[in-house]
Amino acid sequence: MGGLPLQGGQVARQPTSGTGGGASSPIISRVRVSGSSTLNTAITATQAATSANARTRPLAFLRSLGCVDSKLRRDTVSKACKGFRPATLDGIAYHPHSTTFAPDRGYTNVDDANLADYPRLVKTIDGVQRAGGLVNGLSASKKFDIHYDEYGYQTNPPDALLGVTTAQQASWLQWSAYTAYRQPRVRTLIQYLWRDDPINTRGWR
């Protein structure tokens, strides 16, 4: 995940290491939280944050950002969460990429969330907000709107590793748009590039 724009030109970075079951470390620090903006959680599925330079799974990141544990309870124990102040936001921007899965097939890991995992994503966001880990700048009692600001499928060819057929891409993009339309908290769906990224050894980008 890249930088997370919060407000006033301040950028927060996703924690890159931590231990399972609790808030990841390091927790975002030195971020001004007096204004409001949109939090962008950019990755839908990665790996467990159990080693240096490992990328935190997105729902674990959201919990870590709000200093709540895996049961969505406020973390008052860990050193990283001492002096915690919640970020104030207007909404949550998320990339619900399904990669090679159809739009109705979710991921198996409970800390990942693609388009089909909307209930899991909403449960996490609402739980963090309810525990005081995030504040809605529009209204303290309002639940966050969700903005899917990147979604798409790469095709095979050229991506033989993580591409789908051109027929699947054409069908699944329409299907995914309708799926997002039916998810009540989703306010935005932005299609990713309509052309594939250059072929590389790392697969889907």
Residue boundaries of the structural domains of the chain: 3-191
Per-residue pLDDT band at 160 (split at 50, 70, 90): confident
- Token pair of 170 as six digits: 């054409």
pLDDT at 10 > cutoff 60: no
Q: Which residue has the higher pLDDT, 99 or 43?
A: 99
Closest listed residue to residue 13, CA positions, set 61, 51, 46: 61
pTM, 2 dp: 0.77
DSSP sequence for the chain: --EEE-STT-EEE---B--TTS--BSPP-S---SS--EEEE--S------STTPPPPHHHHHHHHTTB-TTS-B--SSGGGTT--PEEESEEEE----TTS-TT---SSTT---GGGHHHHHHHHHHHHHTTSEEESS-TTSPPEEEEEEE---BTTT-TTT-B-HHHHHHHHHHHHHHHHTSTTEEEEEE--SSPPPP-TT---
- Token pair of 76 as six digits: 């008052």
Per-residue pLDDT band at 87 (split at 50, 70, 90): very high
Q: What is the mean pLDDT of residues 117-127?
A: 98
Burial (CB < 10 A; 0-12, 13-18, 19+), residue 57, is buried
CB atoms within 10 A of CB 197: 14
- Give just the sign of the alpha carbon dihedral 43, 175, 197, 93: negative
pLDDT at 175 > cutoff 60: yes
Q: What is the mean pLDDT of residues 133-141?
A: 94
Per-residue pLDDT band at 2 (split at 50, 70, 90): very low
Question: d(Cα 110, Cα 102) in Å, to the nearest integer?
Answer: 18
Q: What is the mean pLDDT of residues 185-205?
A: 72
- In this prediction, residue 119 carries a pLDDT of 98
52-74 confidence digits (pLDDT tens)? 667 789 999 999 999 999 999 99
Please state which of the ranges 38-42, 60-64, 180-184 shows the lowest mean pLDDT.
38-42
pLDDT at 102 > cutoff 90: yes
Provide the CB-side half-sphere exposure for 55 (13 A, CA).
12
Question: d(Cα 65, Cα 31) in Å, to the nearest integer?
Answer: 11
pLDDT at 79 > cutoff 60: yes
